[in-house]
Amino acid sequence: MKRLLCIGGGNVNGLGQYLFNKAEHQYQVLRISKSDFFSDCFESEVIRFQPDYVLITSASSYKVDLPNIDYQGVDKAFQSRLLPLYKIGALLDRLSVDSVVVISGAASNFIINTYCALSLVNTATEVAVRYLAQEFMGRTRFNYVSPWRVGANGADPEKICVDDVYSAITFLFTNQSINGTGILIDRGFSMNVK
């Protein structure tokens, strides 16, 4: 059974928790929470586990309009998204990871006033993924999934079904030809916003 390292997903009702629950049926899973991620034993635990795949679901809910953006909020949002990505990149000399997938967000494709900071963080995440994909080309593939608002069962037409997000993730894990790109899952919403 393939080994999957999940970083993030601490919100009980969040997307990361659902993806973790779904992955437990398909992979041997090690979950690292935000507090574990910053602990001294993070590196040794990950190296001991030797994951085949890494899923980074750490999210940022920093949603403020432009005049109210503050340095600490943006800094925390960047750390939440980018530190796990770069920390895994720094460990790759001691791991044999085939694929890393990061959850970004559809807000990277458009800017709505209250999503300005989130758009910035999502865009930076996707650029970091493309950079790491080039840096580790031939060894480890880096990709991202950018979902719009996600709902539990897809019953709400305004939300994306979490099963669709999980399918995109497993596709990126197993497709050996895809590297440095992402899958936008938004039912065409971003085309209507631009």
Q: Which residues contact 125 (CB under 8 A, 6 or more apart)?
A: 81, 82, 85, 102, 104, 108, 144
Main-chain phi, psi angles of 37, to 5 degrees: -60, -35
Q: Residue 190: its pLDDT value, please?
A: 63
Q: What is the mean pLDDT of residues 23-39?
A: 88
Residue 53: CB atoms within 10 A of its CB come to 24
Q: Residue 51: its pLDDT value, please?
A: 98
Q: Residue 158: its pLDDT value, please?
A: 76
Q: Residue 66: its pLDDT value, please?
A: 58
Q: What is the mean pLDDT of residues 184-193?
A: 71
CATH number of the structural domain spanning residue 103: 3.40.50.720
pTM, two decimals, is 0.88
- Helices 71-91 and 42-49 meet at what angle, rounded to 10? 40
Q: Residue 45: its pLDDT value, please?
A: 94
pLDDT surpasses 80 at 183: yes
Lowest mean pLDDT among 5-19, 71-85, 87-101, 123-137: 71-85
Q: What is the pLDDT of residues 48-87, one digit of tens each?
A: 999 999 999 876 665 665 566 666 776 777 777 788 889 9
Q: Residue 122: its pLDDT value, please?
A: 81
Total domain count, the chain = 1
Domain of residue 88: give its range. 3-193
